[in-house]
Amino acid sequence: MPTLHHYIDAAIAVAIMLTLSVVAGFLAFGLTDDRSAIAATMVAVLLLSGAVLMFRTWLSSSSAVKPKEPGMP
């Protein structure tokens, strides 16, 4: 079941990224009618939120307890 847990976590992360991207798109639409600027804003927020989530995952995995090597008490 750990694999299923990883898929669920990944789906939640993608949903968070897409939600933030859509919200940023609506905010950009309120400021401008330029479709290329709106698309660029949505892509930038999607990538930035993905980078933040990946960095948080990296930080939490680097502080995890490492297994002991054989022969170590």
Contact 50, 18 (CB under 8 A): no
Domain ranges of the chain: 2-52
Beta strands in the chain (DSSP E): none
pLDDT value at residue 3: 81
pLDDT at 63: 63
Instruction: Kindly list the averaged pLDDT for each block of 10 residues, start to end, along the chain of length 73.
Output: 83 93 94 93 95 87 67 60
**Alpha carbons 62 and 49: distance in angstroms, whole number:** 20
Report residue 72: phi and psi, to 5°.
-90, 140
The predicted structure's pLDDT at residue 23? 95
- Of 29, 20, 28, nearest to 52 by C-alpha is 20
